[in-house]
Amino acid sequence: MFWADKIAENLKDKGPQHVDDMKTPSGRIHVGALRGVVIHDLAYKALKDAGKKAVYTYVFENHDPMDALPVNLPREKFEQYLGMPLFKVPSPVEGYGNFAEYYALEFQKVFNAIGCYPQIIWTKDLYTSGKMNDLIRECLDKAGIIRKIYEEIYKKEIPENWYPFQVYCPNCGKVSTTNVFDWDQEKVVFECMVDKVKWTKGCGYKGKISPFSNKDGMTGKLPWKVEWSVKWKVIEVTVEGAGKDHMSRGGSHDLASLVCERVIDYPVPYPIAYEWFLVGGKKMSTSKGVGSAASEMLEILPPEILRFLMVKTNYNQAINFDPGGDTISKLFDEYQEYAGAYFSGKKDDYARIFEFSQVGEIKKPPKIRFSVLTQWIQMPNMEDEIKKEGSQEWAKYAKIWIEKYAPEGEKFLVQKELPEQAKDLSEKQKEYLQIISSRLDKNWNAEDFAKALYELSRQLNLQSKEAFSAIYLSLIGKNHGPKAAWLILSLNKEFVKKRFEEAVKIAKPKVSKNLIKIQNLNKPEIFSIGKELKDKFPSISVGIAVIKGVSIKKTDERLEEEKKELLKSFASLTTEQLGQYPEVVNYRRLYRQTGIDWHSRRPSPEALLRRVALKKGLYTVNTCVDAYNLVVVRHRVSIGAFDFDKIQLPTVLRFAKDGEDILLLGDKEATKYKQGEIAYFDQGGGYNIDFNYRDAQRTAVQLGTKNIYINVDGIYDIGVAKVEEVLRKACNEIIKYCGGKLDIFGVESAE
């Protein structure tokens, strides 16, 4: 049963239900608050579907003080309003009554757009209507009980002259700076403290004032944690949740619950403690302007997909949204999958989630995958095909993703001139292009043309990787790209003919005698790449070397100096920059393709660079590991080193199988491989995991190791030339600090 329906089931024997949520509009409201709106909306709609009488309200707490300046607002204009209630702060944009109204209405527009329509309540109106006054009196009369609740929850003594009320200073207008010291059943005695808070100053005014607000205005407010419970009783809330920070033990909800029980005699509403919405692993703040605004999310996701993101994730699980990864593409794919369950008549959670995700009329989504759309929108003349698939709306978001968030590996642009990379095509690749060019006048459809391209490569005895890379190198200057048939057919035929003709005629540059030719390994008795892996990832290449007779030490002064110099060169590196390195992008892409979350298992070059960016320095393991880590950081290419005498030859890079496991360095228990992970295996089992992410204990390089087995990982744009270069530098660096003699050296590729 879907979780919202479980809530309705739990409340089936209760009376009418009032679902409520709230937010202080202290700045542009972040997407985490939007999750709360949707969670409460789902509870409300599930109750209605179950036949319960229910209402849903949303409280904008416009009476709270401005306690921080949003980063996007000018300090010189708004600093003077710090400490004042938000309804007294001017709007940053003309046409709105005040600061709170502007940001609240912006947020309301967003949650209306994704199908949430709660009744809006403003806390200022609750106070000025007089509805809060009786309970304000009760809280002041029972201030001693509330003091004891604070002491019980927060384990600290509260002064005897503390009262649960904050006056709006009649002199300076601030509320954050006032303290109430006494209460005579009619008025409170207060002072506007000059130094109560660090971020604004009080005026020092002292006086007596009635705590009761009316239509003429507000005189003050209850502290939020007390006010929360009072609001529940005033508007008769029966269901209300909050983020886990408020709902955790000893948090705001515990205090409000005790006020309900011991002070105002009201049953605590049914609680829903929900997890955070993270953007790139970070929590957001409205008042500080940190994180993604809810309004910005609607710029990158259609309303039904944004709602689906909130609906499909159980409220007690965090959402980690990373627009720069494959999160968005997977989200669209999942939406199509859940739609399939609904339209096939299933009654499972998938169908219910799809139903709850709708904004207005229930419609079938396009059949074309979002990942394909991201390719189509980069091709010319694809508008008709996109329209034919009914994907115009989704195509808009595909374009936004490519322009703003896509990794470089997902972007391609047809070059105006023949790319330099095409000058290295082999004679067979040129023949392939020449034959394609001669067949372009035929009226092809994409499916038949794709089959023809594969068949032609077979006839020429040309591996598909080589064949298609000839097309990509000639048109976009990369060795990979979108579906070749679609790409060619999207372009002007005469343009493609001319481009392929240029590629065929271009002379291959002469290789200088000083350049080192790629040294192929070709030693299956030592190492090979599994066939299944080759077929799925034809760009994979691995550098293999064996160094014999090494002498490994714990540290070396020269090596430590080299590490220090390297760290100096990365002094300005930030974690945000890591995703801009093409090598990191390539490894992340591979992880995504094999179902690995690179946020939790970062590729080894990224993990090392991340340590550097966080000013944690480089590891000190031993002179072998420390030496090749220098090369990893400099070149951002993954390297592994192992005790050759403990390797049981031959070795192979392949997909892990169900049931296989590995005892990793530093662990006490074996880790199960996930089927489809890429790892190196010898005859004794796996000796690392996820393409040099972590290594096994049994083959680890130790101080007593005499012979070293090295591998270097290449994928996508990290080609064989780069792999050989990094392998050579790693060997040189290891020999520099550990001695030894190079015994085996070469590169094995899937081609």
The per-residue pLDDT for range 400-456, each reduced to its tens digit, is 998 888 877 788 888 889 988 888 899 999 999 999 999 999 999 999 999 999 999
Residue located via tokens 């892996």: 533
- Please give the structure tokens belonging to residue 218: 């507000």
Burial letters 717-746, b for 16+ CB under 10 A, else e: bbbbebbbbbbbbbbebbbebbebeeebbb
**Predicted confidence band of residue 237 (pLDDT cuts 50, 70, 90):** very high
End-to-end, the C-alpha distance of the chain in Å comes to: 50
pLDDT in tens, 336-395: 999 999 999 999 999 999 999 999 899 999 999 998 999 999 988 889 999 999 999 999
What is the distance, to the nearest Å, from the Cα of residue 261 to the centroid of all Cα atoms in its chain? 41
Residue 285 scores a pLDDT above 50:
no
Strands 166-167 and 119-122: unpaired
Burial tier of 558 (Cβ tally within 10 Å: 0-12, 13-18, 19+): exposed
Q: What is the DSSP string of 492-503?
A: -HHHHHHHHHHH
**Predicted confidence band of residue 511 (pLDDT cuts 50, 70, 90):** very low
Give the closest residue to 276 by CA, choosing from 35, 17, 10, 66. 35
Residue 4 scores a pLDDT above 80:
yes
| Mean pLDDT, residues 482-491 taken together | 92
Cβ count within 10 A of residue 475: 25
pLDDT at res. 222: 98
| E strand residue ranges, 35-167 | 54-60, 119-122, 166-167
DSSP reduced 3-state for 67: coil
State the DSSP H helix or E strand holding residue 20, giving kind and residue range, or none if neither. Answer: strand 17-23
- What is the distance between the alpha carbons of residues 663 and 666, in angstroms, rounded to a whole number? 9
- What is the distance between the alpha carbons of residues 451 and 498, in angstroms, rounded to a whole number? 23
Residue 517 scores a pLDDT above 80:
no
Q: What are the phi and psi torsion angles at 342 (to 5°)?
A: -65, -50
pLDDT at res. 570: 85
pLDDT in tens, 210-225: 999 999 999 999 999 9
pLDDT at res. 512: 40
- What is the distance between the alpha carbons of residues 620 and 744, in angstroms, rounded to a whole number? 27
* Domains contained in the chain, CATH given: 1-155+223-286+313-321 (3.40.50.620), 324-410 (1.10.10.770), 420-505 (1.10.10.350), 527-749 (3.50.40.10)
**Predicted confidence band of residue 507 (pLDDT cuts 50, 70, 90):** low
Locate all alpha helices (DSSP H) within 575-636, ordered by sequence. Answer: 582-593, 604-613, 623-635
% of the chain at pLDDT higher than 90: 74
Q: Which of 126-135, 584-593, 670-679, 710-719 has the highest average model confidence (pLDDT)?
A: 126-135
| Mean pLDDT, residues 16-33 taken together | 94
pLDDT at res. 518: 63
- What is the distance between the alpha carbons of residues 495 and 498, in angstroms, rounded to a whole number? 5
- What is the distance between the alpha carbons of residues 227 and 144, in angstroms, rounded to a whole number? 16
| Mean pLDDT, residues 712-719 taken together | 92
% of the chain at pLDDT higher than 70: 97
| Mean pLDDT, residues 679-697 taken together | 91
Cβ count within 10 A of residue 396: 13
pLDDT in tens, 524-556: 999 999 999 998 998 999 999 999 999 999 999
pLDDT in tens, 598-644: 788 889 999 999 999 888 999 899 999 999 999 999 999 999 999 99
Burial tier of 332 (Cβ tally within 10 Å: 0-12, 13-18, 19+): buried
CB contact at 8 A, 44 and 34: no
